[in-house]
Amino acid sequence: MGPFIRIALRYGVGGIIGYQLADQLAGDPDVVAVATVVATAAVGFVTEGFYMLARNLGWRT
């Protein structure tokens, strides 16, 4: 997942604050590690949220 996070950092941050800083952040292993943990946690929370929604609405789980 690290390469995907690195690419997202490069283009996402590059569009907001500039490409030079985006390349610097994408090349920093600590920033990539933190972004990977945050992205993984977000995916987990969204998945569990949809599971809870399905249970509450009586959908098949």
pLDDT digits (tens, 9 = 90+) for 4-36: 777 777 777 666 666 677 777 778 888 888 888
Entry pTM: 0.61
Residue 20 in any domain: the answer is yes
Range of the domain at 50: 2-56
- Return the pLDDT at 16: 66
Token pair in block for residue 61 = 């789980």
Residue 61 in any domain: the answer is no
Do residues 23 and 10 lie in contact, with contact meaning Cβ atoms separated by under 8 Å?
yes
Assess whether pLDDT exceeds 70 at residue 42: yes
- Return the pLDDT at 14: 61
Q: Which residues lie below 8 Å from residue 45, measured CB to CB, with a gap of 6+? A: none
Number of domains composing the chain: 1
